[in-house]
Structure 1
Amino acid sequence: MSNQIRPFRIEIPQADLDDLADRLSRVRWPGQLPGEDWRRGVPVAYLRELAGYWRDGYDWRGQESRLNGFPQFMTEIDGQDIHFLHVRSEVPGALPLLLTHGWPNSFVEFVELIGRLTDPGAYGADPGDAFHVVVPSVPGFGFSAPPRGTGFTVARVAGIWAELMRRLGYERYGTQGGDLGAYVAPAVARVAPEQVVGVYVISGLGFPTEEDLPTMTEDERVAFADLQTQDWMNGVDHHALLRAAPQTFAYGWHDSPVGALAWMTQKFKEFSVTGELPDRTIDRDLLLTNVSLYWLTGTFGSSSWPMYDSTGFGWPEGQKAVPTGVYSGPPGFRRLAERDNTIVHWPQGNPGGHHFVAMEQPDHVAADLRTFFAPLR
């Protein structure tokens, strides 16, 4: 295994961008099925407008330049080429912080958050509450190599992350994650409890199981019933779909940019707690940068391994090796989360209308991260 860390720069060939534009100009559009609004999926009129903007208004080269403004690197760990951002703060004593993105997202999830963490003074916060930020791309996502065989696990990713932080020279650091990252971030603490000072999870800890339902209070039952009505609980079951036939669906996502855009749009709409359209909750260019990254790296199929290498769905449980904080309690319940976690931070009322809240509310997420990690530095 080589310990070499190599500088990396995004340089998408122009031919790939021309091919994308050509495909977007030759879409074979289906008719609109009967049914109101989004009841049958992404409406044709909505997607046509979004695809037209992707083709004629969106500027990949501008976004590529923005992404290249973050120092990026590649290194090989556990036989995997790992792509990561490493943005050091100029503030002495800054705490290293490892951010893990979710699915179907990428390191793009954190582009609005990074500056607020590395240079809080520039955003009106205490300059001393700064972080050195490390953002790896999960294997199979974006520029990180896909797993070469079956049986790849969250625990294996956590081991890679711990080695990455060791290789960067960090002996104490925090971990953060939401969605897939909510499984990975606690697993890093289990792998490296002497190095991790705290785990911060966006949400999802303490979700009730069937066995918990009889013990729930009346208030918990009301909150749980409300959760059952939300889009993200009733949309396309991507876990089951990608367990069953990921290769089959990957053909469409890999060959048709509109098929890929429709899939991403469907999921980002379902992941909106408020039911808002995806590009009204999250910046449209940021959404399209994430879709473009998947398209241009051909990773719609390889990023599905958390689902196809599983036998069922389970909510993240967390860990008790180090203190845990959350950004938002729902959909979980603190009483249940405390069975598997030492919860020291569970605020009420943090704003957020989307599952990927760091893209929607970077100021509030940065502020809450500073609050949680302040006593742990």
Structure 2
Amino acid sequence: MNDAVHSFRIDIPEADLDDLRDRLRRTRWPQEIGDNSQWQAGTNLTYMRELVNYWLNHYDWRAQEAAMNALPQFRTVIDEVPVHFVHVQGKGPNPMPLVINHGWPWTFWDMHKIIGPLADPAAYGGDPADAFEVIAPSLPGFAFSSPLTHDGIFFNPTADLWVKLMSRLGHARFAAQGGDIGSFVAARLGHKYAHKLIGVHLHLAGAVMPPYPTAEDYAPEERDWGAKFATFMAEGNGYMQIQRTRPQTIGFAMHDSPVGLASWLIEKRRAWSDCGGDVEAVFSKDDLINTVMLYWLTDTYVSSARHYYETKGPAMAPAHDRQPPVEAPTALLQFKGDVWLYPRKWAERYYNLKRWNVAETGGHFAPMEQPERLVKDIREFYRTLR
């Protein structure tokens, strides 16, 4: 079995950048639907024109590429699936191995603000005793964990791959953290592999197996959370239905138009973050374009969407029927600006819940929006498990 791990550096061919610039210059702009100043019909045309102008005339991919390459990166192949990951050794007396998991429409780069503080607390004013050995993989089919040619890969099988990855790196037991799809990966680890997990830290709750939340689970102070979730499912989950049912259809547009891809991804950054309607209150133009570039330059929109399409059949079944489903010690930090929040009563049934917090500010992209708050909660939770 080939279990080699190779150092990796991002080095995009100049021809790919030239092709991108040509496509941006030749963008065929759509007509806008009425007054779309609040993005009520989707991505705002004026904003996209402004962003593309910046993309063409000010954005510097090579500078961003160099910043990404400052993180030690590696690639390996597990069960014929290519896996790219950042691996930063901890600086402290006993660093805890921690795999941190991103989501969609994220990339590994969304984790870069928390990697340094987790690995080297002292350099950021923290206690070296809280150090982690940080492993930040790209989900299969995302960015440099590509090409993904295997059927059936989504968050459940990804957990199986991560157990093998961590074993390959010398860790029989480890900790996990995640949000969005990454929260499902981390929860699956704490469900199927509880004996291997030191603990699970999440900043999004999601039920992918019974028991599911009910209206009675929401305490009086949580009632608006249930209404928020219902609104999201009624008005905000069109992307999910497309990606669960017909990702290949929309994939042709995403792979042919960088502006189309940017519109699809950036609308989610605005809608799901705690930005008050101003996406650049949270993400700079460089931040937004970096995300699009990592999908565009690696041709990974369709393979990333497969994490939705593949969520069906026997692979979705729970690994056991013990209670709670997620047996590993679990911490849940929810951010009030996120797209949904789940009730504590349900969380206490679903997880082996050891820590519960709700942050007043911050949204779906916590590692980018509120990195200090997230790092603080991760440190404090795992301090009790060292």
TM-score, normalising length: structure 1: 0.92
State the SS of the aligned residue for 1:3.
coil
1:325 equivalent in structure 2? 331
Q: The residue matched to 2:259 in structure 1 has which SS? A: helix
Shift of 1:227: 4.5
SS in 2 for 1:125: coil
- Counterpart for residue 9 of structure 2: 9
User: Residues 50-86 of structure 1: CA distance to partner in whole angstroms, max 9, x if unpaired?
Assistant: 1111121111111111111111111111111111111
Q: Which residue of 2 aligns with 1:81?
A: 82
Q: What is the deviation of 1:302?
A: 0.8
Determine if the alignment matches structure 1 residue 155 to structure 2 residue 165.
Answer: no
Deviation (angstroms), 1:309: 1.4
Moved more, 8-17 or 236-245: 236-245
1:18 aligns with: 18
Structure 1 alignment gaps of length 5 or more: none
Q: Which sits farther off after the overlay, 142-151 or 11-20?
A: 142-151
Q: Partner residue of 1:31?
A: 31
Identify the match of residue 378 of structure 2 among 361, 369, 374: 369
AA matched with 1:81: P
Check the 8 A contact 1:281/1:353 in 2, yes or no. no
1:193-246 CA-partner distances (Å, limit 9, x unpaired): 23210000112247999872256554443442245456x862252121112221
1:340 aligned to 2:350?
A: yes
Q: For residue 266 of structure 1, what is the aligned residue in structure 2? A: 267
Task: Map residues 174-323 of structure 1 onto 2, 5 A cutoff.
Answer: 174-205=175-206, 212-213=214-215, 216-229=218-231, 234-311=235-312, 319-323=325-329
Whether the 8 Å CA contact 1:138–1:157 is kept in 2: the answer is yes
CA deviation map 1:266-288 (0-9, x unaligned): 11122124543322212332221
Q: Is it true that 1:169 corresponds to 2:170 in the alignment?
A: yes
Aligned identity (percent) is: 39
**Is the 2:36–2:42 contact (alpha carbons within 8 Å) kept by the matching residues of 1?**
no
1:360 aligns with 2:369: yes
* Structure-2-length-normalised TM-score: 0.90
Match of 1:71 in 2: 72
Pairwise CA RMSD: 2.5
Question: What SS does the corresponding residue of 2:195 show, helix, strand or coil?
Answer: coil
Partner Cα distance (2:287, 2:222) in 1: 35
Q: Structure 1 stretch 233-242 or stretch 129-138: which is displaced more?
A: 233-242
**Equivalent position amino acid for 2:329 in 1:** P
- Distance, in Å, in 2 between the alignment partners of 1:335 and 1:369 is 22
More displaced 10-residue stretch of structure 1: 363-372 or 201-210: 201-210
**Where do 5+ consecutive residues of structure 2 fail to align?**
none
The 1:166/1:209 distance shift into structure 2, 3 A limit, reads: closer
Report the 3-state secondary structure (helix = DSSP H, G, I; strand = E; otherwise coil) of the residue aligned with 2:113.
Answer: coil
> Displacement, 1:19?
1.0
Mapped to 2, the partners of 1:214 and 1:365 lie a distance apart of 29
What secondary structure is seen at the aligned counterpart in 2 of 1:109? helix
2:274–2:282: 8 Å Cα contact kept in structure 1? no
Q: Is the 8 A contact 2:247 2:302 kept in 1?
A: yes
Structure 1 position 248, deviation (Å): 1.3
AA aligned to 1:373 is Y
Moved more, 270-279 or 177-186: 270-279
Tell me which moved more, 215-224 or 283-292: 215-224
Deviation at 1:375, TM superposition (A): 0.9
Instruction: Supply the distance in 1 between the matched residues of 2:382 and 2:234 (Cα, whole angstroms).
Output: 31
1:30 is aligned with what amino acid?
Answer: P
Distance in 1 separating the partners of 2:217 and 2:111: 38
